[in-house]
Structure 1
Amino acid sequence: MADAGFFAAVRDGAGRSDDVALISGKRAWTYRELITSAEIFAGHLGRHPTTGLPVVVDVADAAVRAVVTLAADLAQLTVLHSDPGAPTDFGGLVVRDSATLPEPSEPPAVRTTDGGVELWTHTRAATHSLAGIPARSQIFLTSGSTGTPTGVVRPAATVLTDAHRIAAFMGYEQGLPGVVSTLAFHCYGFAYGIAAPLLHGTPIRHVPSRSIPSQLARAVREHGARTLVGLPFQFQLLAGTAAPLDFGELRMAVSSGAPLPPAAAGAITGRYDFALYNAYGSSETGALSAALSTGEQLPGEVGTPFPGVVPRLVPVDGVSGGGELQLRTDALAAGYTGTDGLLPLDFDGDWYRTGDLARIEDGGIRINGRLKNIINVAGKKVSPAEIERVLARHPAVTDVQVVAAPDDVRGQVPAARIVTSSGLTVAELLAWCQSRLAPHQMPRRVSFLDEIPRSAMGKPLKGPEPS
């Protein structure tokens, strides 16, 4: 088997053989152990029928995910990262660890304990063709706000480019510890928590993605971590703690998936010495930028593009100021999975269409919402994100989502879903909006919820269309 991109890059990277690479669960893995386990499991993969099938990684342990991904790369196979909490039915050679064992009704599994890893594999009939998908690609499932998974195909070269870019931003270097509490099966979690640190010799301790602030603080102290990567809900919980927590020598924390509310960012930066960043990117583009979150930044501000990312704005009919954000980047995905093979991304010439509405001011990007979410109110285009920002500033509003609702007269109108910390009334909320929104931006329907449904990454999910 020939050496391949990701495996060879980790093997020949900054990590020294006997240095700790990843700590996951109760085990600390050295680089030697990761590489040896991957080499042995690659041989196991080579003895099973994998032609035309991806390796579906359905494991809970982050370090074991790294082993399987390295092995598949060495065996020149494509990997699909599955959420162990919601396994995909995507066909392929399914790999599970002890936490994700198959049910008795599933096909018999092949068990291997080679390399100190206990894994079970079985073959599931193909559902998607790998035609046109480069060998050794990694496929990440993304659902955005729809909840319907789509496979984003990232070739090995783009995975490596993205990882090096993230490492430069994070300051990952040999022997400098970090803590990661995110989703290793997601593009963001894999890049920040596995690929980038492995390439640059940064020992990373993985803790569960549902960890609360006190657990994060303890992990940071015990590991001597200088960096922390987490999810938006964790930082919102941290902002609401009664007393400051001890984060030891932490110098930098990063959140991604959904914007942090300004009040939460302000509460954290006013209480702690570490720098807090909100990262921006997608499975299609990889990491694009990161904004320092102080609570005083402009709404939608996501920072200056990383080196290698070139943005432009294309005007959108009916939308004043800014336009659709389009990009050129050397970390762009190859396309999407389809039943008959690779499907293309959405391009305007050679510019990738992000679907985000944005402004570019002094070199920095400000996101104003999604193009597909624009509400057409009697011919006037309304961005839900702009309304959400106004509603979110109300002292009693703790979470908000604005969607389009059908209207017999105007075609569509804004409908607000509100989570409140007190007995806020519709009349009080609309009075707050009166001087802050134009008439066509005013919510015409308001409903109060216990919570806004969100994905694991913190993005609001679309509920039933308001009537």
Structure 2
Amino acid sequence: MTKAARTHPTRIAVDGGGTALSYAELDAQAAAFADGLRRRGLRRGDRIAVFTPNRAEYFPVLFGLFKGGFVAVPVNAKLHASELGFILENSGARAVVFAEKSSGVVAAALGSSPHTERIIVGRGGPGSFAEIVASGCSAGFADAEVDSDDLAWLFYTSGTTGRPKGAMLSHRNLRASTMNALADMCDFQPEDVVLHVAPLSHGSGLYALPAIARGAKNHVHAGTSFTPTAVLDTIERERVTVIAFLAPTMIHRLVEADSEHRTSTLRRIVYGGAPIDPSLARKAIDRFGSIFVQLYGQGEAPMTITYLRPQDHHGKAMSSTGIVRTDVEVRVVDETGSPVPEGAEGEVCVRGDVVMQGYWNNSEASAEALRGGWLHTGDVGRFEDGRLYLLSRQNDVIISGGSNIYPREVEEALLAHPAVKEACVFGEPDQKWGESVVAAVVTSSTVGAEELMVWCRDTIASFKKPKRIEFVGSLPKNAYGKVLRRQVRDDLTAPGSP
């Protein structure tokens, strides 16, 4: 960002919600924020959580953390207090940056902990982002000297145990992801207007890095929910050229919305999180043009494994995740870790500078995921004609609306209810969301589906709660007592099932 500020000082770097910052102003504000944190006793390497919905201030916060040598811990602003609390405790966060409306969630997450400083964005006064920036000094501020392998971003991704794991992304990892984005996904230019509607804590935030590196204008869409008409209004009004990241369900809603908006300025739409239905792809291309590029990646290899190019959005290729990304190695292996021939099925493994260093404070999971020097994704796939086809997910992750939902964390929420003896959660196809959450539940006493849904909503993020709950007498298990999740799914989704 410092380089972009020198090259394009007067260009608008970010705007949205009534705030606009030039590159020079963004650089100065980020430096002052970093210096203000130092003056409060925070030191290089300290983890700082960012728990706020999309807003223009996200940029000086994030780049201020990078400038100061701190470790950013971006957190989905929709998470429940208990989920936020675990991440704050697990990461050892020294501070949390949050929007004023999230004060109650943050208070519940932190409890009486005196160790985590609270920084509010969106207003002034003591403890605010504005106060810290005002207390810092940008003049003569020197960016922290960091090594390529120093930790830059803790990307929390849920695991099959129900507890999130912090993927450790170094400065090298972020640089590799950024360079790959410029090489494969979008060649950002200073003239681009980049729209951010997906959470900056995840994919859209990662794609802000190459956009900033090239001096593009980043427009942060106002509002906390995705409203198709408002997004189309923004595209037309701001003359947007690139949408940084969308989930397929968002594309579906844009296609179904009013088609009178002028969107001819668009030259690239990046999407991912789930495959796109071919019929939807055709409608989207008819509406917006052949400007779509799909990514396949994980938090452990942020946004960077394979990609489906605009010219590949047709025929059989549409059911693939495309070709291997620049400067990344991908192979499919058998149970012994040996590569399988093209056309054979196996686990997808990745190697390259984009792959995480490991999981924060979890050496066992790190060793398992990175065995043999390759990231084992847990996804089953095969190569054909140079393209990767995903067949299933070993970890049974549910992707709904572009967000990952892991069955175990929903099951644990259900099992905490006194009437629930057993629970098995899985995803089923959903035309609107890609997949929806279904739970098969064995109970010890009478309880209604609505009560269990409310129970989950009060325990985990609302988007993770089941959309459908089926009550069963028992769950099928193997000889070792493990629930046969796929059999449960097949039984409850077969024609004629409840």
- Above 0.5 in TM-score? yes
1:73 equivalent in alignment to 2:66: yes
1:149 equivalent in alignment to 2:180: no
1:284 to 300, 305, 311: 300
C-alpha spacing 1:19/1:349, structure 2 compared with 1 (3 Å)? same
Query: Partner residue of 2:452?
Result: none
Listed as ranges, the matches of 1:210-359 within 5 Å are 210-228=225-243, 229-241=245-257, 243=259, 245-286=261-302, 287-291=304-308, 292=310, 294=313, 296-298=315-317, 300-316=319-335, 321-338=344-361, 343-344=366-367, 346-359=369-382
Q: Distance in 1 between matches of 2:61 and 2:192?
A: 25
C-alpha spacing 1:235/1:209, structure 2 compared with 1 (3 Å)? farther
2:296 partner SS: strand
Query: Partner residue of 1:421?
Result: none
1:407 equivalent in alignment to 2:476: yes
C-alpha spacing 1:195/1:243, structure 2 compared with 1 (3 Å)? closer
Instruction: Tell me which amino acid in the other structure corresponds to 2:240.
Output: A
1:41 equivalent in alignment to 2:33: yes
Contact 1:334 1:344 in 2 (8 A): no
C-alpha spacing 1:80/1:342, structure 2 compared with 1 (3 Å)? farther
Structure 1: state its 5+ residue gaps.
Answer: 1-6, 122-132, 375-387, 419-424, 431-445, 448-467
1:153 partner SS: strand
Q: Distance in 2 between matches of 1:297 and 1:26?
A: 45
Instruction: Tell me which amino acid in the other structure corresponds to 2:256.
Output: G
Query: What CA deviation, in whole Å up to 9, does each residue of 1:399-441 have, x standing for no partner?
Result: 56799994368983534489xxxxxx988x37xxxxxxxxxxx
Shift of 1:306: 1.5
Instruction: Tell me which amino acid in the other structure corresponds to 1:99.
Output: E
Q: Distance in 1 between matches of 2:433 and 2:216?
A: 40
2:21 to 18, 23, 29: 29
Query: What CA deviation, in whole Å up to 9, does each residue of 1:347-374 have, x standing for no partner?
Result: 2412221111111112111111112349
Query: Partner residue of 2:410?
Result: none
2:289 partner SS: coil
Q: Distance in 1 between matches of 2:98 and 2:432?
A: 45
1:327 partner SS: strand
Structure having the larger proportion of residues in helix: 2
1:69 partner SS: helix
1:173 to 185, 189, 213: 189
Superposition RMSD in Å = 4.1
C-alpha spacing 1:364/1:40, structure 2 compared with 1 (3 Å)? same
Query: Partner residue of 1:138?
Result: 153
Instruction: Tell me which amino acid in the other structure corresponds to 1:72.
Output: L
Instruction: Tell me which amino acid in the other structure corresponds to 1:232.
Output: P
Contact 2:155 2:299 in 1 (8 A): yes
Shift of 1:316: 4.4
Shift of 1:158: 1.2
1:118 equivalent in alignment to 2:130: yes
1:55 partner SS: strand
2:100 partner SS: helix
TM-score (norm 2): 0.67
Instruction: Tell me which amino acid in the other structure corresponds to 1:279.
Output: L
1:76 partner SS: coil
Contact 2:429 2:435 in 1 (8 A): yes
C-alpha spacing 1:417/1:241, structure 2 compared with 1 (3 Å)? farther
Query: Partner residue of 2:100?
Result: 99
Query: What CA deviation, in whole Å up to 9, does each residue of 1:223-254 have, x standing for no partner?
Result: 21121132232112123346564323212212
Q: Distance in 2 between matches of 1:297 and 1:258?
A: 17
Shift of 1:302: 0.8
Structure 2: state its 5+ residue gaps.
Answer: 134-147, 398-425, 441-473
Query: What CA deviation, in whole Å up to 9, does each residue of 1:88-127 have, x standing for no partner?
Result: 221323243553564477668578779x952679xxxxxx
1:308 partner SS: coil
Q: Distance in 1 between matches of 2:77 and 2:67?
A: 23
Contact 1:98 1:119 in 2 (8 A): no
C-alpha spacing 1:147/1:278, structure 2 compared with 1 (3 Å)? farther
Q: Distance in 2 between matches of 1:170 and 1:334?
A: 26
Query: Partner residue of 2:52?
Result: 59
Contact 2:33 2:132 in 1 (8 A): no
Query: What CA deviation, in whole Å up to 9, does each residue of 1:355-400 have, x standing for no partner?
Result: 11111112111111112349xxxxxxxxxxxxx99x969x999856
Shift of 1:49: 3.1
C-alpha spacing 1:33/1:225, structure 2 compared with 1 (3 Å)? same
Task: Please say which of residues 62-71 and 174-183 is displaced more in the overlay.
Answer: 62-71
Query: What CA deviation, in whole Å up to 9, does each residue of 1:165-207 have, x standing for no partner?
Result: 2133212111221212111111x22111x21111111112111
Instruction: Tell me which amino acid in the other structure corresponds to 1:138.
Output: W
Q: Distance in 2 between matches of 1:235 and 1:166?
A: 20
Contact 1:326 1:351 in 2 (8 A): yes
Q: Distance in 2 between matches of 1:294 and 1:164?
A: 23
Contact 2:297 2:306 in 1 (8 A): yes
In the comparison of the two structures, how many residue pairs are matched?
A: 389
Contact 1:101 1:120 in 2 (8 A): no
1:42 partner SS: helix
Identity %: 18
